[in-house]
Amino acid sequence: MNPLAHPVAAWHQLSAALIAYGPPGLLILAILDSAGVPIVGGVDALLIAVASQSAENAYLAATFALVGSMLGSSFLFFLARKGGDAFLHKQISSGPGKRLHFWFQQYGLITVFVPAISPIPLPMKIPVFCAGALQVRFEYFALVLLIARAVRYFGLAYVAVHYGEQTVTFVKTHGWQLGGAALMVAVVAMLALRLFQKREASLGIPQ
């Protein structure tokens, strides 16, 4: 059987191999996922699998997922920073891309924070491109991404340790509560960032 002709079988083979690597497998997958390789839900699924099978490695696995996500997203950020407006224009030529670009212009880094923290798959590639191409300070971008991913991955690891194979069911059952909690964290994080930006502006530090 050719795994390329059977994506589901190929994913099972890949996930089994990465699970065998343990937490470092999360690093590899998170880098690929955040760098733009389409692996919908793959990092979350692998993190849940590793944490469910080995509670002592759960938070180490979350750390590897966090580091991998930061590395992959930073790659996209600086790729867009180097490419500038011309590069961004190619990415937002479609209808969905234009909408995400408009939302970024309206809401800024919250369009990065929300998909980064949500276990529900949401488009994140375009907001990251926007942040890079539109000259958002990397420190702000990295801080927002770090908080969102840390809450997401360590939260999933915690739930997986306590609920094991029922973690996915738990997340689906309590989706609204988790979404509300994520929104509250987003609001607090954005308010804190705005206050920090105003403080730096008052000190004459370039934004």
* Single pTM value for the model: 0.78
Token couple for 100 = 């995400």
Place of tokens 């997958």: 29
pLDDT of residue 114: 85
* pLDDT above 80 for 205: no
- Computed over every residue of the chain, the mean pLDDT equals 80
pLDDT in tens, 29-57: 899 889 887 776 688 888 998 888 888 99
Report angle CA 6, 30, 182 to the nearest 5 degrees: 110
pLDDT band, very low/low/confident/very high, at 1 (cuts 50, 70, 90)? very low
